[in-house]
Structure 1
Amino acid sequence: YLFANEHIYILKKGETLYRISKKFNVPVHILQTYNRIEDPSHLRPGTRIKIPSLHTVKKGDTLYSIAREYGIDLETFMKANNISDSTRLSIGKKLYIPYSGSSMTGTKSSSDPNSSQSLTATGTSTDSAFSARNKKFDVPVSDAALKTLLWPHPGPRESLKGKISGIVIRGETGDRVVSVSSGRVVWVGPYRGFSRVVFIESENRYIYVYAGNEKTTVEVGDQVVIGAEIGRLGKDVHEGIPQLYFLVYYNGRVSLS
């Protein structure tokens, strides 16, 4: 399995896979399988060990709600944890979060042609909540319009190419993500492969999309001002580095030039 938001640990002299499993509370067989290690006794200092992410069960959690939170398929989630839909979840239980395998860059796509897990500018996603919002805001603003904006993060930027028109901004995990405009929060939630996503609608009908947040600090209906914190940057599950996806849409079918 590939796991979301994995952590890379560099093996130190004298350390063993067993010691790492205790340190991160991950069974040895999971680490061995995930890292394709045939013989743990042959590991050398400097070896990069991938540590999968975990979810701690809290009150009210169900298998379905956890899978939805991370944007992963329920069957894949259960298989990764060797559990069934009849399994009773106890508060505090640790569950492994398998990577969803979806893409936002427009240059990658899901291996399942029926999953429609890529976020597009035309509202083709099958995710009901996201699709309902996306159909209203299906025209990307041109790069010229983007250049006039305050940026949501000061990091290095590059344009997205492919099905999605927008900007990727790199930073550090936990960095502040701020709103580039005043407006109302119209959608907040997890989306397949993009961690938590925020939609903000300005008074002039622009829709600003901030994807890749580790956590969000706003809720639907909140009114925000320019520069207000809306979330904290998380690690991209595809590239393994912290980066924000910033998209701008206009309420209509004519792209601004």
Structure 2
Amino acid sequence: MESLPAERKALLFSAGGVRLALRLAHLREILSVPGDAGEIQARGEAVPTAFVSTVLGLPGGPSPYALLTEGSPRIALRVEALHGIVDLAEAEFFQLPARTPLPQPAPFSGAVVARGSVALELAVGTLGFAPLEPAEEAPEPPQGLGAVADRELRFARAGLVYAVPLSVLVQVLEDPPLAPVPLTPPSHRGLLYHGRALHPVVDLAALYGEPAPGPGRTVLLVDAGGAGVGVVADRVLGVGEGGPDVIRPPWDGLFGG
């Protein structure tokens, strides 16, 4: 059966500074509302309010719009800005990459890329009203070191030096735009849209329990075990830099599962 028009279109909006999407099939009405009341009146009906930034653990702020959802019970999702409606036939839809840890059931059903920007599609039925608990880091990343490669690239992160074999390095990207994913653990830095695909971006410092000095300016896109993953770096090192203390993670073990 051919999809209904409402199922082929999505509203783009933002909450807590994160771009989100909601299919029109789940949307009953959009209202402009003042204040931060716990419920709103719509067509004589009291509708409970969920502030999307609060539910997703994002910074709060003025949320002058209410998205009234279909279904039962109806909810008024309070959001901070509207960015228009996109026809999904003219956009790209992705399932979230496997290495995007989220609380279960996941609050996002996928991601929409429209005009080069990534918007996370809300799974309305999983949201509720209370803040969701973020996903935890994996208990322990794979231990041990990878083999020394004849040709490798060294990079610095959080005061340590790492090496990645050129055989698994796809590309080095400077200051690429990353789409944040709320409720992921600290090692997940966001999603990278590159080569018409979505890649998770991982911070090795946070993954191994080290304090990270900020987001990092460089992302190394690696292909480990068939999975395209971005790795945060402070900078790529030149020939001869780094000294003898070089960490060579087991790349397939880290990202191939």
Q: TM-score, normalised by structure 2?
A: 0.27
Instruction: Give the structure with higher Rg (CA).
Output: 2
Which structure has greater strand proportion?
2
Which structure has greater helix proportion?
1
Q: TM-score, normalised by structure 1?
A: 0.27
